[in-house]
Structure 1
Amino acid sequence: MKRLIIKEEIDESKNVFTFNTDEDLTITWFDDKIDDEIKTMLEQSHDHVQICHSFDEIILTIDNIRNEKIILIVAGRYSRETLFRIHDNDRIDTIYIFCLNMSLYQDLIDEKKYSKLVVIYIEYTTLFNILIQQIHLILKHLSIFNLFNHTDKPILDLEYESKIDIFEQTYVSSDAIRWYTKDSFLYCFVNKALRTEDIEALFRLRYFIKDICKNLILLFDKNFEIYQDSLEAIIVYRGLTLPINIIDQLKQSVGKYVSTNGFLSTTFKRDVAEMFGANVIFEIKIETDLKNIIYGYIANMSYNPSEDEVLFDLDAIFQIIDIQYKDNKYIISMIGINNNIEYLKSDYFQIEREYLQDNLIDNILSNINAYSFF
C-alpha cells in the first residue's frame, strides 16, 4: 500500500491539525529489594518490564524510554522523593505505591497533590489484578488518533508469531469481537499494524480485521432503525492521558477534524472512561441518522461486558466542537461527521493505493484509509 500526502496542502490548511501519540507501554518497578516471585508476576503481566533498584537507575530508565507510557510501581519508603522528582514527567501515566503499612503514605493520596498517584496497595494479588486491568485499558487508549507516523521497525517477531500461531488454532470468525476485547496482544497488534501500515502484519491477520469489520457492520445494520426510532443521538466517552503540550495544541484546534487509524474503543459510561486517572475525556456525539460512521454496542460480545463498550469501525471522522476544563480534567467534545463532505475528500490530501492482487488478502486493505484529519 502506498500513500502520497501533499505536504503543501497540509501546511496551508487551517482546518487540518495533527498530533502523534504512537506509544507502547512499559511497567517499571522501583524497589531496592524485590524477590523472584514479584519478578515472575511482572514478566507475566506484560512484555515490557523494567526493574530499578536506585534513584539514579529509575531516572536513567525513564530518560531512556522513548515513545512509551510508563506505569510506575514504587516501594513506600521511596514514594515521597520519587513523586517529587518524577511525577510531572510526561512519560509517566500512572503511579502505584506498594508498601506494608498504608497509613504511612495515605496523606499522599488525601492531599491530591499528585494526580498520577492512583492508589496504595499492601497485597500482591490485588495489585497485580488491578495492574492487568490498567494495562488492558491503557493499551486500548494508546491506539487513539495516531497520524502520519511511519516506522521501518517490523511488528512481527518471533514472540508475536508464536502468539498468533496459538490464536489461529482456536479462532472462529463469529468470535472476532470477543477475541479483540479479550487479548491485549491482539488489539495492540491490529491497531499498531493499521496505523503504521505494516503490510506483513496486516496480511498475517487480514482475516481477523475483516471479521471485526463485518461483525460491526452487522451490528450497525441490526440496530440502525432501533436507534433512529428511540434516540436522536448517542454519546460515548473515551479516556486518555495526554501531555500538556498536546492539550495546548488541541485547544487551538476547535473546529478541526479527527479520524482514527484503527478501531476506536469507547464506552457509554463516563466513569469507565475516567478510570485510572485519565486527564482528558473525549465526549463523542453521534447522530443516529448518520450512516457513514459504523459502530456497534458490543457488551454482549465483549470479554469485559462491564465496560459497556461501543466499538467504532475504521475511518470514523469527528469534528472537535469544544474543549473545557472541569474537575481536573479536560473535556473534549466531538461530533461524528459525514466523511463524504467534498472538501474532506480532495482539498488537502491526494491518496494513492496499490491493492495487493493476491486472492488470499481478499482486498482487506481496500477498507483501510491511511490518512487522518484534524
Structure 2
Amino acid sequence: MIAVDFKETFAKVNKKIRAVISDQDELICLVKHDQHELEKLEDVMSLPMNIYDVNTVGSSLAKENSSTSLNGNFLWFQLFIEVFLRMEHTATDFLELVNFCKEIYMDNTSQLEVINEFQQNYTYSRAVFWYSREIFLYKILNKALRCQNLETLIAFRTFINDLCNQLQNLQEDAALRNLSKITRVYRGQLMSNIELERIQSSISSYISMNSFLSTTVDRDLALFLIESAATFVSAPVESALKPVLFDIEIDPSSSRNVKPFADISSQSYFQTEKEVLFM
C-alpha cells in the first residue's frame, strides 16, 4: 500500500503502508519500481525442477513419483527443448508468436501496445533485452516452462531459439575478450518444505530448472530478494515457505558442454542488476 499525502505518524505504525508520497511523479516512479520488484518476486517464489537420479534410487517422495518416472520427465523435457534449438525458423514462426500473444492479451490495451512495439522493432539480436523487460514475453514463457505447457512452448519456439543463441554469443564474446570468467553466482528463493526435501534427497543427482534461471553475481542482492519476497506474501504463505540461498559454483572448463549462460547486464532492460542468465 502506498499512501498519498498521508500522515507519516500513522504510516509508521501501519506496516502495510510502503511510503507517504505527495508528489505525483514520485508516486508513479515508485509504483513502477514496485511492479518490477513484484514480477521479480514471482520468479523468486517459484522454481519448478526436474531431477535425474543417477543411482535410480527413489527419494521419500517415491510414493508419488518413482525414480523411473522422475528420470523420464527429466530426459523428455530436455529433449523437447533441444528440438526447438535444432529447428529451422522462419518469419511465419515469429508472426505466429505475435498473434498467439495478442490473443492472450486481447482485452489488455497496454499489453497490446507493447506487443505491437515488439512486432515492429524485434530483432533476433535483441532477445535478451525483450526477455529481461519482464512484459508479456517473460510472463507467458516462464509460466509455460514451469507448467510444461506444450502448446505455448511451441508458439515460443523461435524466441527460445533466439534467446539461447544470444546467450551463446554473449558467452563466446566474453571468452574472446578475455573477460573474467564467472565462477560463482547466487539466487535467492522461497521454497516449500516438500521442495527442500526433494533437493536434500537428491544429492549427487542432476537438477534441471524448468525455466530460464536468473541469478546474480551479487550475493547481497540475492539475499535482499529473499527478504523482499517475505514482505509481499501473507503470513500463512510465508510460514509455509523457507528462505533459501542458492550458492552456485561454475566450472569454467565445462562451458562448452552445457547450455549457455552469460552476464546479460550489457543487453538487459535493467542493466544495474548484475544478472547472469542460464538457458
> Could you say which TM-score interval applies, normalised by the shorter chain?
0.5 to 0.7
Aligned to 1:238: 187
Post-superposition Cα deviations, 1:279-337, rounded to whole Å, max 9, x if no partner, equal: 22211110111122321111010110100111111xxxxxxxxxxxxxxxxxxxxxxxx
- Deviation (angstroms), 1:98: 8.6
Q: Distance in 2 between matches of 1:143 and 1:180?
A: 18
After TM superposition, the structure 1 = structure 2 runs for residues 54-203 of structure 1, keeping only pairs within 5 Å, are: 73=1, 100-104=6-10, 106=12, 120-123=18-21, 124-125=27-28, 127-142=30-45, 144-147=47-50, 158-160=103-105, 162=112, 164=115, 166-203=117-154
User: 2:137 aligned with 1:215, yes or no?
Assistant: no
Aligned to 1:287: 251
Q: Distance in 2 between matches of 1:126 and 1:106?
A: 21
SS in 1 for 2:186: strand
More strand by percentage: 1
SS in 2 for 1:219: helix
Change over 3 Å in CA distance of 1:246–1:195 after alignment to 2? closer
- Deviation (angstroms), 1:177: 0.6
Q: Distance in 1 between matches of 2:167 and 2:203?
A: 29
Change over 3 Å in CA distance of 1:97–1:194 after alignment to 2? same
- The answer as to whether partners of 1:106 and 1:120 remain within 8 angstroms in 2 is no
- Deviation (angstroms), 1:178: 0.6
Change over 3 Å in CA distance of 1:230–1:271 after alignment to 2? closer
Q: Distance in 2 between matches of 1:157 and 1:170?
A: 16
SS in 2 for 1:306: coil
Unmatched tracts of structure 1, length 5 or more: 1-72, 74-95, 110-116, 314-374
SS in 2 for 1:122: strand
Q: Which amino acid aligns with 2:171?
A: F
- Deviation (angstroms), 1:195: 3.6
SS in 1 for 2:47: coil
Aligned to 2:55: none
Q: Which amino acid aligns with 1:200?
A: E
Change over 3 Å in CA distance of 1:194–1:143 after alignment to 2? same
- The answer as to whether partners of 2:101 and 2:115 remain within 8 angstroms in 1 is no
2:221 corresponds, among 255, 260, 272, to 272
Q: Distance in 2 between matches of 1:168 and 1:139?
A: 26
Q: Distance in 1 between matches of 2:190 and 2:131?
A: 22
Q: Distance in 2 between matches of 1:184 and 1:280?
A: 26
2:277 corresponds, among 292, 298, 311, to 311
Unmatched tracts of structure 2, length 5 or more: 22-26, 51-72, 78-99, 107-111, 230-242
- The answer as to whether partners of 1:139 and 1:184 remain within 8 angstroms in 2 is no
Change over 3 Å in CA distance of 1:127–1:99 after alignment to 2? farther
Post-superposition Cα deviations, 1:118-176, rounded to whole Å, max 9, x if no partner, equal: x73222446413321212312433563344699xxxx9673336464552222111111
Q: Distance in 2 between matches of 1:299 and 1:171?
A: 19
SS in 2 for 1:236: strand
Q: Which amino acid aligns with 2:219?
A: R
2:264 corresponds, among 298, 313, 327, to 298
Q: Distance in 1 between matches of 2:244 and 2:129?
A: 27
Post-superposition Cα deviations, 1:19-61, rounded to whole Å, max 9, x if no partner, equal: xxxxxxxxxxxxxxxxxxxxxxxxxxxxxxxxxxxxxxxxxxx
- Deviation (angstroms), 1:246: 3.2
Change over 3 Å in CA distance of 1:165–1:197 after alignment to 2? farther
- The answer as to whether partners of 1:143 and 1:188 remain within 8 angstroms in 2 is no
Q: How much identity, in percent, do the aligned residues show?
A: 29
- The answer as to whether partners of 1:143 and 1:191 remain within 8 angstroms in 2 is no
Q: Distance in 2 between matches of 1:234 and 1:249?
A: 26
- The answer as to whether partners of 1:176 and 1:212 remain within 8 angstroms in 2 is yes
Q: Which amino acid aligns with 2:162?
A: D
Q: Which amino acid aligns with 1:235?
A: R
More helix by percentage: 2
- The answer as to whether partners of 1:265 and 1:309 remain within 8 angstroms in 2 is yes
Post-superposition Cα deviations, 1:75-121, rounded to whole Å, max 9, x if no partner, equal: xxxxxxxxxxxxxxxxxxxxx89993444464677xxxxxxx8x732
Q: For the aligned residues, what is the CA RMSD?
A: 3.5
Q: Which amino acid aligns with 1:268?
A: V
